[in-house]
C-alpha cells in the first residue's frame, strides 16, 4: 500500500496513527517540489517567492495603516466636518438614508425630461446626418465601440472569467 493510502487508512482505522518521516514528506510536499529538475519546480519556486513578496508588502501596508491610520482619520473628519450630522445617531442615519432615497426619487421627472431632450437631439442628428462633421461621427463610433467592449467584459465576468462559455 502506498504511504498516502496507508496514512488515510490509518486515520480511519481504530488503532493509532503511525507513519514515518518519509511518508509524511510524501504527503505534505507538493508534487512540483518532489522533482527539482522539472519546469514546474521552477514555476513553483517563482510562485513561492512572489507570495513571499506579497506577504512582505502586506505587512508593510498594515504597519503603515496602524501607524498613520488614526491621524489620517482625524484629518479626514476635520476636513469634512461640514457634512457630519450632530449627533451621529442611528435614527439620524436612517433619516438621512430615507432623505437620500426620496430626493433621488424626486429627481426622476427632471432626468426623464433630459432623456427625451437628448433623444430628440439624436433624432435631429439622424435626420440631418449630412451636416454632421466626421470628428463627431468618429467620437460616436468610438463611444459605441467602448459600450460594446464593456458589454463583452461584463459577459466574461458573468461567466466566471471564461471566454468560451458558461460553466454548467
The string of pLDDT tens digits covering residues 4-62 is 444 444 444 444 444 444 444 445 555 545 555 556 666 666 777 788 888 888 888 88
Report how far residue 145's alpha carbon sits from residue 132's, in angstroms, rounded to the nearest whole number: 19
Q: Are 124 and 137 in a shared domain?
A: no
Q: Which of 34, 30, 22 is nearest to 51 (CA)?
A: 30
| Residue 152 forms part of a structural domain | yes
| Residue 50 forms part of a structural domain | no
Reported confidence tier of residue 138, pLDDT bands at 50, 70, 90: very high
Report how far residue 136's alpha carbon sits from residue 37's, in angstroms, rounded to the nearest whole number: 60
How many separate domains does the chain show?
2
| Residue 20 forms part of a structural domain | no
Could you identify the residue written with the cell 433630459? 114
Q: Are 138 and 155 in a shared domain?
A: yes
- Residue 152 pLDDT > 60, yes or no? yes
Backbone angles phi, psi at 165, to 5 degrees: 175, -175
Q: Are 117 and 139 in a shared domain?
A: no
| Residue 161 forms part of a structural domain | yes
| Residue 71 forms part of a structural domain | no
Reported confidence tier of residue 153, pLDDT bands at 50, 70, 90: very high
Global pTM?
Answer: 0.39
| Residue 119 forms part of a structural domain | yes
Q: CB atoms < 10 A from the CB of 26, how many?
A: 16
Reported confidence tier of residue 123, pLDDT bands at 50, 70, 90: very high
Domain extent for 140: 133-168
Task: Give me the pLDDT at residue 42, please.
Answer: 65
Q: Are 137 and 168 in a shared domain?
A: yes
| Residue 63 forms part of a structural domain | no
Report how far residue 114's alpha carbon sits from residue 55's, in angstroms, rounded to the nearest whole number: 50
Q: Are 141 and 168 in a shared domain?
A: yes
Amino acid at each position: 500500500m502506498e504511504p498516502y493510502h496507508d496514512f488515510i487508512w490509518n486515520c480511519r482505522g481504530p488503532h493509532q496513527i503511525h507513519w514515518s518521516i518519509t511518508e509524511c514528506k510524501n504527503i505534505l510536499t507538493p508534487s512540483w517540489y518532489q522533482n527539482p529538475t522539472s519546469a514546474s519546480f521552477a514555476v513553483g519556486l517563482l510562485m513561492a517567492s512572489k507570495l513571499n513578496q506579497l506577504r512582505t508588502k502586506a505587512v508593510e501596508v498594515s504597519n503603515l495603516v496602524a501607524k498613520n491610520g488614526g491621524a489620517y482619520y482625524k484629518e479626514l473628519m476635520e476636513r469634512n466636518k461640514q457634512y457630519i450630522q450632530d449627533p451621529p445617531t442611528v435614527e439620524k442615519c436612517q433619516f438621512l438614508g430615507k432623505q437620500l432615497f426620496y430626493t433621488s426619487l424626486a429627481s426622476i421627472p427632471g432626468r426623464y425630461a433630459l432623456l427625451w431632450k437628448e433623444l430628440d437631439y439624436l433624432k435631429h442628428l439622424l435626420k440631418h446626418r449630412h451636416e454632421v462633421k466626421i470628428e463627431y461621427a468618429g467620437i460616436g463610433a468610438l463611444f459605441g465601440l467602448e459600450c460594446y467592449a464593456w458589454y463583452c467584459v461584463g459577459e466574461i465576468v458573468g461567466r466566471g472569467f471564461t471566454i468560451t462559455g458558461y460553466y454548467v
